[in-house]
Chains A and B, each alone.
Chain A
Amino acid sequence: MADVFRKMGSMAINGIWQLGFIARFFWLILVYSGQSFTRIHLTLRELYFSGVMSLLIILVSGLFVGLVLGLQGYETLQRYGASDSLGTLVALSLVRELGPVVAGLLFASRAGSAVTAEIGLMKVTEQLKAMDMMAVSPIARVVAPRFWGGVISMPLLAALFSAMGVFGGWLIGVVVIGVDDGAFWAQMQDAVDFRYDVLNGVIKSGVFGVAVALIAVFEGYDCVPTAEGVSRAITRTVVSSALAILALDFVMTSFMFRG
């Protein structure tokens, strides 16, 4: 029995220690972020790899989510004779929740895992140590640009995801099923508030961007420098990011949308 408590205690202490470690790491990234902006090509390169290279999966997924929303939404709304509100339903679901959350999950598995793998392999092959010995801070040169690349691309990807989703909903609702085109857009315009809905969604995706990018660079930098260590770090990136996104989403939703 005492053993169980001891284990729980040590797990709790480890968890807190890890959190403190991540916080310190986050602080270091912020301190060493100067180069990411003075030498903008470093960050632009990461924006390309994290952002542009994720476009395809984000756009295609957004489209499919929109198509499904259109079908399911219409199916439910038409029972109450409210199928004209399909635009509202699709747009609100996407900008408030599905856009940031699903784009965040996809972003973590597509770009976050790649960043962890890259930094982890640089650690395995002693590239980070070599850089440090050349008096170049790996946090400034390698970690910070990747962090900012992720932070900047995440809200943009989420916005594109939502836009694509709305298009998918329109495609199913208006083009295929035959909901009135004018009603679809007019009701959406009427119901979606820029500050309350869109801006809050953007804030959410920004927070997810920080969380995913931080977890990805941290796991890569902190990994055990072996093949097995890198693979575990990648898994941790995807799992922790997903949990962080869902938990943060609940917290933010409960603050933002209380009716």
Chain B
Amino acid sequence: MSEPLVRLENVRFAYGERAILRGISLSIPRGKVVAIMGGSGCGKTTLLRLIGGQERAVGGRVTVDGQDVAGLGRDALYALRRRMGMLFQFGALFTDMSVFDNVAFPLREHTDLPAELINDLVMMKLHAVGLRGAAKLMPGELSGGMARRVALARTIALDPMLLMYDEPFTGLDPISLGVIGQLIRRLNDALGASSVIVTHDIQESLQIVDYIYFISEGRVVAEGTPDEIRNSADPFVSQFVHAQADGPVPFHYPAGDYATALVGGAG
């Protein structure tokens, strides 16, 4: 088996005193779609920021395509990012540019291609996400699902080797959700890229990914292929897959004794 594209080794991260990741090790093999799952605020998005070099780990190592991300200077990091694409939670389209210009943005910034060629490339990318007809619209005129697809077209504009998705399913209707899911899988295979999806949408993920990591309290608590996850007896995984309110992940935020709080005030 070839060297995985992304490898995290015992990665630790903290915002000030607050520890977010407490020793995470995982790898994203080439050509695969990997999901990183966990409750809200468990540090999933931070993982993507570490892989993209927007944050530096406190301990451990993050390597992408054999390069230690934390050790890269600005130019080398930017060179690496040109081969990565990241889809932000709400698309992060440039609101002062049309759909066409948004998708053309990375091409214009990083290549000297003639305008006709850029036009063709943009149209191909937009066609891939089914929005060639929306090229002239402004981001404000798009629905949430459409905006996400345009952002996806922009993400793949430079044919990246690694695609990162930050909560790609959040706030979408079931149809848009299915469309985005299928696009993630199809584009990954068509581009020969590797993808990492950070999400808490278990049902959609089980259908499209090759491997899943579960994260809780800054650690990997379970992992496996979709089939293994579906049949897992692990209480955390089971709580997650079956969406139970209480379990290893408690319903209550840590608090003092309930009776004392009622009698003695919130303090």
Chain A interface (Cβ < 8 Å from any Cβ of B): 121-122, 125-127, 129-137, 141
- B181–chain A nearest beta-carbon distance, Å: 21
Number of A-B contacts (CB under 8 A): 45
A121 to B109, CA, bound (A): 22
- B29 near A: Cβ within 8 Å? no
User: Are B86 and A133 interface neighbours, CB within 8 A?
Assistant: yes
Would you list 14 pairs from A and B whose C-beta atoms are within 8 A, ordered by A residue?
A122-B95, A125-B95, A126-B90, A126-B92, A129-B88, A130-B88, A134-B81, A134-B82, A134-B106, A134-B109, A135-B110, A136-B109, A137-B78, A141-B109
B105 contacts across to A, CB distance below 8 A: 134, 136
- B79 near A: Cβ within 8 Å? yes
- B89–chain A nearest beta-carbon distance, Å: 7
The 5 nearest A-B residue pairs measured at CB:
A130-B92, A135-B78, A126-B92, A135-B81, A133-B86
Interface residues of B in 32-64 (CB under 8 A from A): 52, 54
A132 contacts across to B, CB distance below 8 A: 54
- B212 near A: Cβ within 8 Å? no
Please tell me which one of the listed residues B84, B89, B94 contacts residue A127 in the complex, with CB atoms under 8 A apart. B94
User: Are A130 and B86 interface neighbours, CB within 8 A?
Assistant: yes
Please tell me which one of the listed residues A122, A133, A141 contacts residue B81 in the complex, with CB atoms under 8 A apart. A133
Q: Which of B88, B93, B95, B109 has the most CB of A within 10 A?
A: B109
A135 contacts across to B, CB distance below 8 A: 78-79, 81-82, 109-110
Given A134-B105, A134-B109, A135-B110: A129 in contact with B54 (beta carbons within 8 A) = yes
- B158–chain A nearest beta-carbon distance, Å: 8
B86 contacts across to A, CB distance below 8 A: 130, 133
User: Are A125 and B52 interface neighbours, CB within 8 A?
Assistant: no
Beta-carbon nearest neighbor of B83 in chain A:
A135
A133 to B91, CA, bound (A): 13
A121 contacts across to B, CB distance below 8 A: 95
- A40–chain B nearest beta-carbon distance, Å: 15
B81 contacts across to A, CB distance below 8 A: 133-135
User: Are B84 and A133 interface neighbours, CB within 8 A?
Assistant: yes
User: Are B92 and A129 interface neighbours, CB within 8 A?
Assistant: yes
Q: Which of A125, A129, A133, A137 has the most CB of B within 10 A?
A: A133
Please tell me which one of the listed residues A127, A136, A137, A141 contacts residue B92 in the complex, with CB atoms under 8 A apart. A127
B106 contacts across to A, CB distance below 8 A: 134, 136
A128 to B78, CA, bound (A): 15
A136 to B84, CA, bound (A): 13
User: Are B90 and A133 interface neighbours, CB within 8 A?
Assistant: no
User: Are A126 and B78 interface neighbours, CB within 8 A?
Assistant: no
Given A135-B78, A135-B79, A135-B81: A126 in contact with B89 (beta carbons within 8 A) = yes
